[in-house]
Amino acid sequence: MIQRFIELGEGYSDIYELIELTNANQHRLVHMLALHTKIDNKELTSLVVILKPTDPGKFQPLYICREGIPNPHFLPNKRYDLFVETANKYSKQISELSVKPSTIFYERDLYYQYLIGILRLNHYLLPLQ
């Protein structure tokens, strides 16, 4: 199985694309995540939507708006509220995790490998088969 992050942007206007992808793929929706981090003394959140793997092909997409949304626990905001509304619409809980920022990784791919490891350990992703 291939599990890969697909970055839509940092959560400005691309949050609407993340919501639309969720609506269009509601039958494949597995998890909705909020990954909290701190960059330059700013509390930020990445929003992630995890879909079921394709069949055939065994490709599992993880759509992400990376580190561009203020952490709603420090600064409530409309973009996060839209994500919550979408989760409620499909009876999903938003799982929240604290993670390291992408800025400490030499390459973006290393950051995404780190996140996949965390998500597997916490059983948000299936083990490779």
Q: What are phi and psi of 126, to 5 degrees?
A: -70, 150
- From first to last of its 129 residues, the chain has per-residue pLDDT tens of 899 999 999 878 899 999 999 999 999 999 999 999 999 999 999 999 999 999 888 899 999 999 999 999 999 999 999 999 999 999 999 999 999 999 999 999 999 999 999 999 999 998 776
Q: What is the pTM of this model?
A: 0.95
Whether residue 60 contacts residue 50, with contact meaning beta carbons closer than 8 Å, is answered with yes
